[in-house]
Amino acid sequence: MRYLKPLGLATVVVMGLTAFIGAGSASATVLCSTTADPCPAGQKWPANTSFDFSVLGGGLHVTDTAGEEVDACETSTMKGKITSAGSTTETVTGPVEETTFGICTFPTSVLERGKLEVHRIAGTSNGTVTTDGTFRWTINSIFFGSCIFGFTSGTSIGDITEGNPAILHINAVVEKFSGSNLACPTTQVMEGTYTLTSPAGTTLSVSGS
């Protein structure tokens, strides 16, 4: 029997996307338009900067704990806006305001979007992305009904690799909030690669300050 597909997640990344994250320093992170630490004056991404991460190839893939693929989406987009630009004492944060996923096995709809945080990975210009708030989406099937999946606050969803364009690598454990145990695997892993498409032609580097 085929499982339902938890797909839009990645966008939420679902699901969301969207803002950014980190490991290393838990309290000091900024996004920089050049690879430097500290970030030079005038190169720091300011608050209200909009961003758009999109899956440009390879799609999103969701597998169960046995490694069997239970769903895949060919396209996905995460859009948002930085509300905290970060500092020597704060991390970069921002809400995921819009998510899309296309060419999926089952219709997928976002129910709830939270924020993302970006934390610098010590010794690098890369960052870890974690959730601030809950992300939830529903997968609908005429055969099994609906399954609701998502991330709880504090979940690490992947890493940002600095560059022009920067890449967001999603590799996250997805939780099931409700739905049939038969059709909706309790635990799944979501993987996908998002490319920063906006602001276009801009370096995104994660700096400590």
Residues whose CB falls within 8 Å of the CB of residue 1, separated by 6 or more in sequence, listed in order? 182, 183
d(CA 207, CA 24): 11
Residue range of the domain that includes 134: 9-90+106-207
Q: Between residues 137 and 71, which one has the greater pLDDT?
A: 137
- Residue 198: count other Cβ atoms within 10 Å of its Cβ: 15
Q: Quick check: is 101 in a domain? A: no
Of 118, 100, 119, residue with least CA distance to 110: 100
Q: Quick check: is 132 in a domain? A: yes
- The 10s digit of each residue's pLDDT in 139-172 is 787 666 788 989 999 999 999 999 999 999 999 9
Q: Quick check: is 137 in a domain? A: yes
Q: Quick check: is 98 in a domain? A: no
Q: Quick check: is 99 in a domain? A: no
Q: Quick check: is 123 in a domain? A: yes
Q: Contact 174/62 with Cβ under 8 angstroms?
A: yes
- The 10s digit of each residue's pLDDT in 19-73 is 333 333 346 899 999 999 999 989 999 999 999 999 987 888 888 878 877 778 8
**Number of domains making up the chain:** 1
Q: Quick check: is 3 in a domain? A: no
Q: Quick check: is 4 in a domain? A: no
In residues, how long is the chain?
209
